[in-house]
Amino acid sequence: MNKYVLFPLLYAALMACQRPRHDEKDTRGHDHGEMESLTYTLYTDSVELFVEFKPLVVGQETHFAAHFTRLGSLFTPVDHGAAAVSLSVLGAPQYDLAEDPDSPGIFRLTLTPAQEGPARLVFTLHDGVRRDTLAINDATVHATAEEAQHAERPAAPAGDITFLKEQAWRIPFSLELVRSAPFARSVRVAAEVEPAVNAEEVVTARTAGIVQLAGEAPLEGMVVTKGRTLFTLSSQGVVGANAGATLQQARNDLERAKADLERTESLYKDRLVTQDEMLRARNAFANAEVLVNQSGSAQTVSAGINGYVRTLRVREGQFVQPGEVLATIATNDRLSIHADVPLRAFGVLGAVADARIRTMEGKVHTMAELKGRVQSVGRAADGAYIPVRLEVNGAPGVLPGAVIEAWLLSPTGAEALTIPLSAVLEQEGRTYCYVQTAGETMDKRVIALGGNDGLRVEVKEGLHPGERVVSIGALDVKLATASGTMPAHGHEH
């Protein structure tokens, strides 16, 4: 190689070995990169605060990106109100106020520390209704940036999944604090929905005749009102029914009862018969009158309750006998749920104190939601099963004749760690959930499960009290992770 080319290459290689990398300090101790942001996640009963800011240094302006989330059944960004920060070291605290969020959920605040030393940062949020106060008690104001660079930092939170607040605010999302609480034993069974005993009418024929559908013909599922005529039963033209003779006999009995009543009332005025005799005559007349009405050539059959036609047992022109079922009318205001519990499973329960039911749409209801109750529990085995009946209010997806799932619960059991079933995901036969370890950091946690009651499940391994699991939105976290794009932090810039 030409010596005029070799010497420059050797010189460049030597200088490269001596030059510090971008992420390392040189021999004089200076950091060539920016200071890494500090992050804190704080809670009250109604608010979560996730705040990011650079280490506090005397004389250097510090920008705070305070993310306020309103806690509830769903977590939402605080989109109105004022937020403030105060810094206390020595003497009077320094203070800054943001009268409105810079964007929904994010308040921008700025302070320039004037005194070094141990410090306390206090954030307040006032939305016009309530005031929330959250404090960082172990903050430090450093004398110089170099000192801040060398300062010990809090341990990084567990988990390698970044899920920004802006992502959580765009979807149905919430967290639940893991805690130990009494958890009932449960048995999952299939159950059948039936009309409640007092919520169904069986419409029967009172006399023999041919069915004629009245007006708008009743159909299964049709809504009917009390008193509406459903059928007409006609005996005209019926051979062998001797309907004419029956009617004539009823009319003769009515005439005789009428004559007896008139004679008895006349004698009663002269006090020649007793009051009991007069009452018997009146009853005989009334009964004879009913028989005439029921023996007529055409009788109407009406609905006795408001409801809908559950079953229709007859057709136009069909001949029916007295007592034959014509239709059933039901109302879904109250329903009965019948479940047969295997003897061994019932032995685990010991008793049935509560229940959950899942409709055909997959929604799980509690007894409280349906204003339900445990109606009866069998005292003897029906074969290898114990019959259990629940009574509930009607609801979409809870229809007579439907087969649903039910969880029968024992009286309150032992303490256990439980989480909502909505928090649990499965992959390759392993169950897991997402734990929020910091405001925008998630940890995918493999868990071992016990029994469930249709809404909650016992966690035997993998979680600890005080942790916060994603109870709504777990699938969105999974999808965001699977996308392979990890959004960066840095809201304070």
Instruction: Assess contact for 319 and 208: CB atoms under 8 A.
Output: yes
pTM for the structure as a whole: 0.71
Instruction: Assess contact for 465 and 179: CB atoms under 8 A.
Output: yes
Q: Which residues contact 218 (CB under 8 A, 6 or more apart)?
A: 224, 230, 231, 309, 312, 327
CA atoms of 152 and 172, how far apart (whole Å): 37
Q: Pick the closest to residue 467 from 438, 488, 492 (CA basis).
A: 438
| E strand or H helix that includes residue 125 | strand 117-126
DSSP code string of 385-448:
EEEEEEEEE-BTTB-TT-EEEEEEE-S---EEEEEEGGG-EEETTEEEEEEEEETTEEEEEE-E
Q: Pick the closest to residue 214 from 300, 297, 329 (CA basis).
A: 300
Instruction: Assess contact for 415 and 368: CB atoms under 8 A.
Output: no
Q: Pick the closest to residue 370 from 193, 150, 238, 159 (CA basis).
A: 193
- pLDDT at position 191 is 92
Task: Return the number of other C-beta atoms located less than 10 Å from residue 7's C-beta.
Answer: 10
Domain with CATH 1.10.287.470 in the chain: 202-323
CA atoms of 144 and 149, how far apart (whole Å): 9
Task: Return the number of other C-beta atoms located less than 10 Å from residue 120's C-beta.
Answer: 14
- pLDDT at position 486 is 47
CA atoms of 455 and 405, how far apart (whole Å): 13
> Which residue is associated with the tokens 């009102």?
225
Q: Pick the closest to residue 311 from 221, 193, 196, 227 (CA basis).
A: 221
Domain with CATH 2.40.30.170 in the chain: 186-196+332-409
Here the contacts of 424-431 (C-beta below 8 Å, separation 24 or greater) are: 424/449, 424/457, 424/474, 425/474, 425/475, 425/478
CA atoms of 224 and 491, how far apart (whole Å): 63
Task: Return the number of other C-beta atoms located less than 10 Å from residue 207's C-beta.
Answer: 20
Q: Which residues contact 347 (CB under 8 A, 6 or more apart)?
A: none
> Which residue is associated with the tokens 């799932």?
405
CA-CA distances (angstroms) from residue 18 to 15, 24, 28, 108, 207? 5, 12, 13, 42, 113
Specify whether domain 174-182+415-482 bears CATH 2.40.420.20: yes
pLDDT by position in tens, the chain (length 493): 444 443 344 333 433 433 333 333 333 333 445 788 999 999 999 999 999 999 999 999 999 999 999 999 999 999 999 999 999 998 789 999 999 999 999 999 999 999 999 999 999 999 888 899 999 999 999 999 999 988 888 788 888 899 999 999 999 999 999 999 999 999 999 999 888 877 788 888 887 888 887 677 788 888 888 888 888 887 665 544 455 556 567 677 778 888 888 888 888 787 777 878 888 888 888 877 766 665 555 677 888 888 888 888 888 888 888 888 988 888 878 888 999 999 888 887 888 999 999 987 888 999 999 899 998 888 888 778 899 999 998 877 788 888 889 999 998 778 999 999 999 999 988 999 999 999 999 999 999 999 999 999 999 999 999 999 999 999 999 998 876 554 444 454 4
**Homologous superfamily of the 202-323 domain (CATH):** Helix hairpin bin (1.10.287.470)
Specify whether domain 38-154 bears CATH 3.30.990.10: no
Output phi, psi for 434, to 5 deg.
-110, 130
> Which residue is associated with the tokens 């940890």?
443
Residue 191: both structure tokens together: 């159950």
What sign has the CA pseudo-torsion 156, 161, 162, 163? negative
Domain with CATH 2.60.40.1930 in the chain: 38-154
In three-state secondary structure terms, 373 is strand
Domain with CATH 2.40.420.20 in the chain: 174-182+415-482
- pLDDT at position 25 is 37
- pLDDT at position 399 is 81
- pLDDT at position 59 is 95
Specify whether domain 186-196+332-409 bears CATH 2.40.30.170: yes
